[in-house]
Amino acid sequence: MVNKAIGMDMGNNYNVTENVHKISKIPILVAQGNHDMLTPSLIKELLLEHIPHAKLVEIEKCGHWTVVEQPGKMCNVALSFSE
């Protein structure tokens, strides 16, 4: 019930899909845990459809809190993205 309410609020008040073109030149990295309920395949479907230049990295053996659960991996992913 809570997730549905949050989703509706985001859709009603924070829908930025009409302005996504404004970030088309900004490099975007999405690191998603493979055990998160928002799976990397779902993120790919929902996000990368609107931001095709974004790079999606799947973090193995990780849930929602990628930086807490796999801090070393996240540092490596972030550092390699900034190069």
Q: Model-level pTM greater than 0.85?
A: no
Instruction: Look at residue 47 and give its three-state secondary structure.
Output: coil
Q: Are 59 and 70 in contact (CB under 8 A)?
A: yes
How would residue 83 be classed by pLDDT, with cut points 50, 70 and 90? low
pLDDT of 5-55, one tens digit each? 988 998 888 877 888 888 888 999 999 999 998 889 998 888 888 888 899
pLDDT of 52-72, one tens digit each? 889 999 999 999 999 999 999
What is the rounded CA–CA span in Å between residue 36 and residue 12?
Answer: 24
Give me 31's structure tokens. 């690191």
Alpha-carbon distances, residue 23 vs 35, 42, 83 (angstroms): 28, 21, 19
What is the rounded CA–CA span in Å between residue 66 and residue 45?
Answer: 20
